[in-house]
Amino acid sequence: IKHPLQNTWTLWYYEPDRTKTWEESQREITSFDTAEDFWSLYNHIKTASELRQGCDYSMFKQGIRPMWEDDQNKCGGRWLINLDKKQRTTDLDNFWLEILLCMIGEAFNEYSDDVCGAVVNVRPKGDKLGVWTSNADCADSVMEIGRKLKERLRITSKTTMGYQVHKDTMVKAGSQTKNTYTL
């Protein structure tokens, strides 16, 4: 039999489309709840670095949409990892896969329930990886998730990680959002 995951996860794909709203451009690809089905999906689709710039992948627990407004996201925030341009060939795909494996493997111990999902943004100005958590006010949960991420991604001090509350990001879209926590 296949190895069941603790949660069911849904993969979303975002491609900019001038004829649609941002929300209409978020497309639900498929959901899975076994390790084997994760690998079949992962091996079947393009890696993040193969996507056109402007596109995103998002992987969220089933029932949570990859947007600030979702009930599970609205009081939360994200650990954001900003990559420099050359990291697209060296780190982007490894970091994204490691984040996916942390999530489906419930690697955040007692705080895994606070993890909503993760987003990878492929951008000309530098790619971004975000891990979204459900409650920005739970400092213990946010910090523990951040520490585990840094450990699993083997992120050194040269790559900064900041936690941004979605309520701040929403209003400051386009300009620099403040980090509520940093690691």
Ligand X SMILES: CN(C)c1nc(=O)c2c([nH]1)N([C@@H]1O[C@H](COP(=O)(O)OP(=O)(O)O)[C@@H](O)[C@H]1O)CN2C
- Which positions from 4 through 33 interact with ligand X, judged by CB under 6 A? 22-23
If one asks whether residue 140 binds ligand X (CB under 6 A), the answer comes out as no
SS3 label, residue 31: strand
- Least distance (Å) between residue 124 CB and ligand X: 9
Total number of residues that touch ligand X (CB under 6 A): 9
If one asks whether residue 68 binds ligand X (CB under 6 A), the answer comes out as yes
The closest of 85, 183, 81 to 132, measured between CA atoms, is: 81
Report the Cα–Cα distance between both ends of the chain, in Å, rounded.
40
Task: Pick from 69, 71, 84, 110 the residue near ligand X by CB under 6 A.
Answer: 69
Q: Nearer to ligand X by C-beta: 68 or 181?
A: 68
Sheet architecture: strand order including 115-121: 26-34, 4-14, 56-61, 115-121, 128-133, 77-82, 161-165, 181-182
- Least distance (Å) between residue 170 CB and ligand X: 7
The closest of 148, 99, 142 to 121, measured between CA atoms, is: 99
Q: Which stretch binds ligand X (CB under 6 A): 3-11, 38-46, 63-71, 80-88?
A: 63-71
Q: Which stretch binds ligand X (CB under 6 A): 5-13, 67-75, 87-95, 175-183?
A: 67-75
CB 32 within 8 A of CB 13: no
